[in-house]
Amino acid sequence: MLSPAVFESAFNSSPIGKYLLSPTPEATILAVNEAFLKASSRRRGDLVGVSLFVAFPADPNDPAGTNEEELRASLARVRASGQPDTLPVQRYPIPVVGANGAITFEERFWSAHSAPVFGPDGALLCISHTTKDVTEQIRYERALRESENRFRALTTAGQVVYRMNADWTEMQELDGRGFLKDSTAPERSWLAGYIPTDEQARVTAAVDQAIRSGTVFELEHRVQRIDGSDGWALSRAVPIRDAGGRVIEWIGAASDITERKAAEEKLRESDRRKDEFLAMLAHELRNPIAPISAAAALLQRVKPDEALVRRTSEIIARQVGHMTGLIDDLLDVSRVTRGLVELERAPLDLREVLQDAVEQVMPQVQARGHVLSQAAPAGPVLVLGDKKRLVQVVANLLGNAAKYTPEGGRLEVRGHAVDGHVCIEVEDNGIGMAAQLTGRVFDLFAQAERSADRALGGLGLGLALVKSLVELHGGSVACTSPGLGQGSTFSVCLPCLAAEAASAMQAGSDAVAGTDAGAPLCVLVVDDNVDAAVMLSMVLEAAGHQTLVEHDARAALARARQSPPQVCLLDIGLPEMDGKELARRLRADPATAGAVLVAVTGYGQDSDRQQIMAAGFDHHLVKPVDMDRLGAILSTA
């Protein structure tokens, strides 16, 4: 029989942590060996005689932790069954006192085995508890799993992964995805199988630089894809070094970035077309400004007679109309493409739409000597839409055809119903276009690609507007052309409206009666642009109205109290107090509360109109003022 000293020596010298616990729920520590003291950074006096669960309490900041609960349950099974019990590896943080005296819990992982120790009479004396600190092993396994996950994510993300020797003369695929193959001989020529000929010099130079410097290789370059087409790849390779710092191999990965490169090219192309558009915009705006400026200079330098005034005013009016059209096109496209246009839908006969559009563009058609033919349906073909906007669509297509067809050309507009849709086609025998342009001719800023001849004029917004308006109506657009010099055909398809639905929608609609011209009025004109205010007042006075002119809001308020006007034409962008606040104060003053307030402004967006109307205005006019519309407002004031 071995002496107790032998067993004590074996217990204390074991390289695995051991301690003896009382066979009670408190599990008081009766003895502990050196291995556990070292693993737990404890002294024997700190543990012996203390409950295991006091010496190593659960982390109060980890309420979801079950480590203490599981250990208590394991020891309870040993006491109840008299049989050993093994716990799988468990996370059991232990408290550690820091240099500042604060207690923190250090994450640890342990494997544990508890065995009963019986006395000669068979009674349970204590429980031998063996623990092994496996924290480093768990951390290693966790890091390995994370590394595997990163590698798996890398390859799943569409990358090919490979390794190369130090001088890149040998390549071995790690995950080639059917694209890479191991090199067969130690030579750099394996690169030629993946890189287009005209790209090889650039790639080789970048590889040589990486090898010389021993730094990470990273390059975007073209590649030959499996199907034989050219694509783009982002290649990265990291040098792997031995203990002495010498590069012994490279680990590389390549991502297919063909789609990203195509998107970048599309953005560059869009920027280029925007730049061309801005150049055209500057050109188009200068064209009408030049005769307006010349007319103003002429009127200043000579003594004008009635004929000269009439002629110059006609020129100014015509050029202002042209500028207004350009600006309206810009604003129209902005509103439509941002979804800010509300359609006034009603049942429409396609024949009326075509007729109105033809009537609108006939002056342009006749001026260029074109022959325009129509092929309208024999009977009613109904659509649900905004008549003004659909006429605008067809007129834009016809105007586009007239512009891009040399003088004396042939144009045709056709309309018919097929498979529940209304189809409108505008065909010309004009300059046509290349096949690659037909797919994007409806894009914004595409006009510059059709012709370098700026004598044709325009901003190229009409077709973009057509596309947006048709799509708002639930329809689609298309363009075909046999090629340059062979004409074009533009098509619009819209959903048909059944006759029964049209009848139901039309029932109960009211006719709108015209209005007669009204009596002379007292009109207050407020605009900080002195010339604009004076000219507008002159037009009003020529129509028989009395005008009061002011150039700032406070003076306008004082004048309105002194001589209350019946109508107020207010600019919005006034200094100090804007036109909206001026309108609110006029509404709040009993003397002017009932006046008709009309906003005359350059702010023409729908959001601007909503804010203006909310300030108390009755009407909203965009500069330059449409005099016919202003006359209609004054006639009902």
- What is the tens place of the pLDDT at every residue in 536-575? 888 888 888 999 999 999 999 999 999 999 999 999 989 8
Task: Please tell me the predicted confidence (pLDDT) of residue 31.
Answer: 93
Same fold for the domain at 4-139 and the one at 157-256?
yes
More reliable by pLDDT, 179 or 22: 22
How far is CA 588 from each of CA 14, 468, 521, 567, 613, rounded to the nearest angstrom? 97, 42, 21, 15, 15
Between 15-29, 104-118, 223-237, 567-581, the lowest mean confidence (pLDDT) is in 223-237
- What is the tens place of the pLDDT at every residue in 9-21? 878 888 888 999 9
Give 291-337 as a DSSP string.
Answer: HHHHHHHHHHHS---HHHHHHHHHHHHHHHHHHHHHHHHHHHHHHHH
Q: With CA atoms as reference, report the closest residue to 424 among 473, 461, 460.
A: 473
Residue corresponding to tokens 């010389």: 212
Q: What dotted CATH number matches 273-337?
A: 1.10.287.130
Q: Amino acid identity, residue 78?
A: V
Which two structure tokens, joined as six digits, stand for 568? 């107020």
The architecture (CATH level 2) of 522-635 comes to: 3-Layer(aba) Sandwich (3.40)
In which region does residue 106 sit, left (phi positive, over 0), alpha (psi from -120 to 50) or beta (all else)? beta
- What is the tens place of the pLDDT at every residue in 107-142? 889 889 999 999 989 999 999 999 988 888 888 888
Task: Please tell me the predicted confidence (pLDDT) of residue 490.
Answer: 96
In which region does residue 559 sit, left (phi positive, over 0), alpha (psi from -120 to 50) or beta (all else)? alpha
How far is CA 47 from each of CA 19, 40, 55, 451, 621, rounded to the nearest angstrom? 10, 11, 6, 92, 90
DSSP, res 413:
E
More reliable by pLDDT, 29 or 193: 29
Res. 480: pLDDT tops 90: yes
- What is the tens place of the pLDDT at every residue in 580-589? 999 999 999 9
How far is Cα 246 from Cα 89, in angstroms, rounded to an integer?
Answer: 40
How far is Cα 634 from Cα 395, in angstroms, rounded to an integer?
Answer: 31
- What is the tens place of the pLDDT at every residue in 457-471? 455 577 888 898 999
How far is CA 450 from each of CA 276, 281, 579, 608, rounded to the nearest angstrom? 12, 16, 44, 35
More reliable by pLDDT, 170 or 101: 170
Domain parsing of the chain, residue ranges: 4-139, 157-256, 273-337, 346-502, 522-635
How far is Cα 455 from Cα 24, in angstroms, rounded to an integer?
Answer: 103
Residues 6+ apart with CB under 8 A from 11: 18, 31, 33
Taking the CB of residue 290, how many other CB atoms lie within 10 A of it?
10
Between 189-198, 388-397, 561-570, the lowest mean confidence (pLDDT) is in 189-198
Q: Which of these CATH numbers, 3.40.50.2020, 3.30.450.20, 3.40.1410.10, 3.40.930.10, describes 157-256?
A: 3.30.450.20
Confidence of residue 451 (pLDDT cuts 50, 70, 90): very low
Task: Please tell me the predicted confidence (pLDDT) of residue 4.
Answer: 74
Q: What dotted CATH number matches 4-139?
A: 3.30.450.20
More reliable by pLDDT, 362 or 3: 362
How far is CA 337 from each of CA 178, 443, 460, 471, 602, rounded to the nearest angstrom? 45, 11, 15, 10, 20
Which two structure tokens, joined as six digits, stand for 390? 């659909």
Torsion of CA 47, 52, 57, 58, to 10 degrees: 150
Tell me what percent of the residues of the chain surpass a pLDDT of 70.
88
* Mean pLDDT, the chain, integer: 84
Task: Please tell me the predicted confidence (pLDDT) of residue 459.
Answer: 53
- What is the tens place of the pLDDT at every residue in 288-335? 787 788 788 888 877 778 888 888 888 888 888 777 777 777 777 777
Task: Please tell me the predicted confidence (pLDDT) of residue 582.
Answer: 95
Res. 154: pLDDT tops 70: no
Most confidently predicted of 73-77, 186-190, 511-515 = 73-77
The third-level CATH classification (topology) of the domain covering 346-502 is: Heat Shock Protein 90 (3.30.565)
Displacement of CA 42 from its chain's centroid (Å): 60
How far is Cα 269 from Cα 290, in angstroms, rounded to an integer?
Answer: 32
Helices (H), 443-508: 462-472, 499-506
Q: 315 forms bridges with which residues in the sheet?
A: none
Residue corresponding to tokens 């409950």: 51
Most confidently predicted of 65-69, 262-266, 584-588 = 584-588
Confidence of residue 284 (pLDDT cuts 50, 70, 90): low
At 574, give phi and psi (nearest 5°): -85, 150
How far is Cα 478 from Cα 440, in angstroms, rounded to an integer?
Answer: 10
Which two structure tokens, joined as six digits, stand for 562? 């002194």
Task: Please tell me the predicted confidence (pLDDT) of residue 447.
Answer: 53
Contact of 209 with 239, CB cutoff 8 Å: no
Res. 256: pLDDT tops 80: yes
Task: Please tell me the predicted confidence (pLDDT) of residue 633.
Answer: 92
Residue corresponding to tokens 């493409």: 337
Task: Please tell me the predicted confidence (pLDDT) of residue 64.
Answer: 81
Number of helices (H) and strands (E), helices first, in the chain?
19, 24
Can you give the length of the chain in residues? 637
How far is Cα 422 from Cα 380, in angstroms, rounded to an integer?
Answer: 11
Q: With CA atoms as reference, report the closest residue to 180 among 167, 166, 168, 193.
A: 193
